[in-house]
């Protein structure tokens, strides 16, 4: 048996246990958390901006390079308007662009180079204390486009009218593109050299429009008696596919080559259903030169469909259960030639699981069931370090980060950030820096939801659902000795502080061990135990 105690600071690098997820900065001190969101990386991928609540409980704009000292506040209190929620910034031409209210000009367009001195107003679009609420940013032809209001609402609902604007980053170069078509929503696509968006006029209702930067043009009036509500525009080969309602067939699959004459219906999934229920509006995914999405044909609930852009080539991939899959979100990822997505269990009773498909009926099957209940829903898939990662929940560990190499047995929890049954991962919004660090929001019982970073250490933090009867640590809180009792032999015991720094390491081949923790300072620690089968189990303890 050998025990290593990190007594001297200079020895810490020699014995520190590499933790895959570590706290970058405790922005909102205490357990409440700053709840970081809306991460946007720069062109060099060495810095990112994000929004977070500070100690004043107001949302501010922060910049980080992934280090504690490199994380700083550049603009405090983005809004003085309780009815306005800050929108996601965009990085364009060396600056992050965003909207904020400085208490003088209302909520207007600003930009920052990542420093306090370099954070300035671009233009007061709606002069005075009124607000333009600039939002919906998109870059097109090296110019930044967005929607903004420059007049007060005239209706009883106090609804602002947002028109298309563009900027080159200067006040003089910030101009209105059009004042006749209001921009509905914040969905754009660049197709055939034009910028498409969902617009509205009193004549056409809500339809698809496009611009070349000088004027706004109607693609075609799909629904002559109302609003087509076009959405989910995506390019497949040389055509733009989208979902729209022509007022006759209801919400259906459409396509266009950019001309009015060749904008046409592809498939009406269910002629008997004239409402949006037959299509869930989940994000569509291009895979193997086909578009994958979820829809209902009236006989089956929402299932996985695919299209090659023709009516005959628009088919259901597989009906995975008599009760229907009930896809809640085709939050899919392509990995090693297969599509991985979330759907209900095959028996159709409950639970959301990971399914995989190669585009064929026989090649579509249940890949991994994380949790038999609906609370296990996997989401937030992304590719990183030759694996795909996602968030999922289990009753014992809550929602945490998981990873997979495409083999069911190797689909495991990457790390149990919040060492209890409370969740450590929320939305899984993230950015990946050039140094391969993943910035994301994480939650612990001590800091609340804060900014963390993740690095794939190459070691699986395989954590099994082990009960207190199988592994018990007592007493807790403990003073000098911590008793560890296991139903199987132990390999190694690690004690880490809340910053992820290892304080103790013990090698043991016994089922029972008395751990001397007298050298530890009072506080909270994580005990990480490697079991005989190689899996890891974590427990939280308090040292008195």
Q: For residue 529, what is the domain's CATH number?
A: 2.60.40.3080
> Which helix (H) or strand (E) segment is 13 a member of?
helix 12-15
Nearest Cα residue to 299 out of 280, 276, 271, 327: 271
503 within some domain: yes
HSE value, Cβ hemisphere, 13 Å, CA-based, for 312: 0
In angstroms, how far is CA 354 from the centroid of its own chain? 17
pLDDT value at position 280? 57
Domain count, the chain: 1
Q: Is the peptide bond before 289 cis (omega within 30 degrees of 0)?
A: no
Instruction: Give pLDDT, residue 235.
Output: 97
**Which of 520, 416, 538 is CA-nearest to residue 484?**
538
The answer to whether the CB of 363 falls within 8 A of the CB of 357 is yes
CA–CA–CA angle 427, 431, 432 (5° rounding): 135
pLDDT of residue 82: 56
Domain containing residue 531: 1-18+466-544
CA–CA separation, 265 and 270 (whole Å): 13
Q: Give the number of other CB atoms < 10 A from CB of residue 410.
A: 13
Q: Is residue 479 part of a domain?
A: yes
Contacts for 502-511: CB closer than 8 Å, 24+ residues apart: 502/6, 502/15, 502/16, 502/17, 503/5, 503/6, 504/3, 504/4, 504/5, 504/6, 505/3, 505/4, 505/15, 505/17, 506/1, 506/2, 506/3, 507/1, 507/2, 508/1, 511/485, 511/486, 511/487
Residue 135's nearest CA partner among 94, 84, 180 is 84
Q: Residue 173 domain-assigned?
A: no
Rounded CA gap, 425 and 79, in Å?
27
Distance CA 49, CA 26 (A): 16
pLDDT of residue 11: 28
- Render each residue's pLDDT in the chain as its tens digit; 544 residues: 333 333 223 222 322 334 688 999 999 988 889 999 999 999 999 999 999 998 887 899 999 999 999 999 999 888 766 556 788 999 999 999 999 998 899 999 999 999 999 999 999 999 988 899 999 999 999 999 999 998 887 765 568 899 999 999 999 999 999 999 999 989 999 999 999 999 999 999 999 999 999 999 999 999 999 999 888 999 999 999 999 999 888 889 999 999 999 999 999 987 776 555 556 556 789 999 999 998 888 777 788 899 999 999 999 998 886 655 556 557 789 999 999 998 875 555 556 789 999 999 999 998 998 876 655 689 999 999 999 999 998 776 788 999 999 999 889 888 878 765 678 898 899 999 999 999 999 998 788 999 999 988 665 544 444 555 578 899 999 999 999 988 888 888 888 775 556 788 888 778 888 999 999 999 888 888 887 776 678 788 889 9
| Alpha carbon distance 134, 145 (integer Å) | 10
* Cα separation, 304 vs 158, whole angstroms: 40
Q: What's the pLDDT score for residue 336?
A: 97
Is 537 domain-assigned? yes
Residues 6+ apart with CB under 8 A from 173: 167
Q: Does 491 fall in a domain?
A: yes
Token couple for 242: 């989208």
Is 489 a member of any domain? yes
Strands 387-394 and 379-384: antiparallel
Whether 184 is covered by a domain: the verdict is no
Residue for token digits 């980053």?
169
Under DSSP, is residue 544 helix (H, G, I), strand (E, B) or coil? coil
Residues 6+ apart with CB under 8 A from 68: 24, 25
Which pLDDT value is given to residue 155? 63
Cβ atoms of 202 and 242 closer than 8 Å? no
Type and span of the H or E element at 427: strand 425-432
Q: Is residue 74 part of a domain?
A: no
pTM of the model: 0.81
Residue 468 confidence (pLDDT): 57
Sheet holding 231-236, edge to edge: 231-236, 239-245, 251-256, 264-267
What is the C-alpha to C-alpha distance for residues 512 and 481, in angstroms, rounded to an integer?
13
Secondary structure in 3-state letters for 528-540:
EEEECCCCEEEEE
Q: Does residue 105 contact residue 120 with C-beta atoms inside 8 Å?
A: no
3-class state of residue 285 by DSSP = strand
Closest CA to 233 of 224, 225, 243: 243
**Six-digit token string for 81:** 């308007």
| Sequence-separated (6 or more) residues with CB below 8 Å from residue 215 | 177, 178
Strand partners, 308: none
Record the tokens describing residue 269, joined without a space.
């999934």
């Amino acid at each position: 048996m050998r025990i290593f105690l990190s007594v001297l600071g200079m020895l810490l690098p020699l014995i520190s246990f590499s933790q895959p997820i570590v706290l970058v900065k405790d922005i909102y001190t205490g357990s409440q958390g700053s709840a970081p969101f809306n991460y946007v990386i720069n062109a060099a991928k060495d810095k990112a901006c994000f929004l977070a609540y500070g100690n004043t409980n107001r949302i501010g704009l922060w910049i980080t390079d992934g280090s504690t000292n490199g994380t700083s506040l550049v603009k405090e209190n983005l809004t003085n308007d309780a009815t306005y929620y800050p929108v996601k910034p965009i990085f364009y031409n060396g600056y992050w662009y965003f909207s904020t209210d400085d208490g003088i000009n209302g909520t207007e367009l600003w930009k920052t180079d990542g420093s306090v001195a370099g954070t300035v107003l671009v233009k007061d679009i709606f002069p005075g204390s009124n607000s333009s609420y600039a939002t919906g940013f998109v870059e097109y032809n090296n110019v930044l486009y967005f929607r903004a209001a420059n007049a007060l609402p005239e209706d009883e609902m106090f609804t602002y009218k947002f028109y298309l604007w563009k900027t080159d980053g200067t006040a003089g170069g910030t101009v209105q593109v059009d004042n006749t078509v209001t921009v509905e929503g914040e969905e754009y696509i660049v197709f055939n050299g034009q910028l498409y968006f969902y617009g509205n006029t009193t004549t056409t209702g809500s339809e698809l429009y496009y611009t070349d930067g000088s004027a706004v043009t109607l693609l075609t009036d799909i629904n002559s008696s109302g609003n087509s509500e076009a959405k989910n525009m995506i390019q497949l080969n040389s055509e733009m596919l989208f979902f729209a309602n022509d007022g006759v067939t209801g919400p259906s699959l459409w396509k266009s080559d950019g001309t009015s004459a060749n904008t046409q219906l592809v498939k009406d999934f269910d002629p008997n259903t004239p409402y949006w229920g037959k299509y869930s509006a989940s994000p569509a995914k291009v895979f193997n030169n086909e578009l994958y999405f979820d829809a209902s044909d009236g006989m089956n609930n929402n299932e996985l469909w695919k299209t090659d852009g023709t009516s005959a080539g628009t088919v259901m991939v597989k009906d995975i259960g008599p009760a229907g899959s009930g896809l809640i979100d085709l939050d899919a990822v392509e990995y090693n030639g297969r599509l991985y997505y979330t759907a209900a269990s095959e028996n159709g009773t409950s639970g959301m699981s990971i399914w995989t498909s190669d585009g064929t009926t026989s090649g579509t099957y249940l890949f991994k069931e994380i949790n038999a209940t609906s609370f296990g829903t996997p989401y937030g898939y992304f590719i990183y370090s030759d694996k795909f990662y996602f968030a999922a929940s289990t009753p014992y560990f809550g929602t945490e980060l998981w990873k997979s190499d495409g083999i069911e047995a190797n689909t495991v929890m990457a790390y149990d950030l919040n060492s209890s049954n409370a969740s450590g991962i929320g939305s899984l919004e993230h950015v990946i820096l050039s140094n391969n660090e993943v910035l994301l929001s994480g939650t612990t019982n001590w800091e609340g939801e804060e900014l963390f970073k993740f690095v794939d250490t190459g070691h699986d933090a395989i954590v099994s659902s082990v009960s207190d009867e199988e592994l018990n640590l007592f007493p807790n809180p403990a003073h000098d000795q911590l008793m560890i009792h296991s139903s199987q032999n132990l390999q190694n015991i690690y004690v880490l502080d809340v910053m992820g720094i290892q304080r103790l390491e013990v090698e043991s081949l016994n089922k029972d061990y008395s751990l001397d923790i007298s050298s530890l300072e009072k506080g909270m620690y994580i005990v990480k135990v490697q079991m005989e089968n190689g899996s890891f189990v974590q427990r939280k303890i308090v040292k008195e």
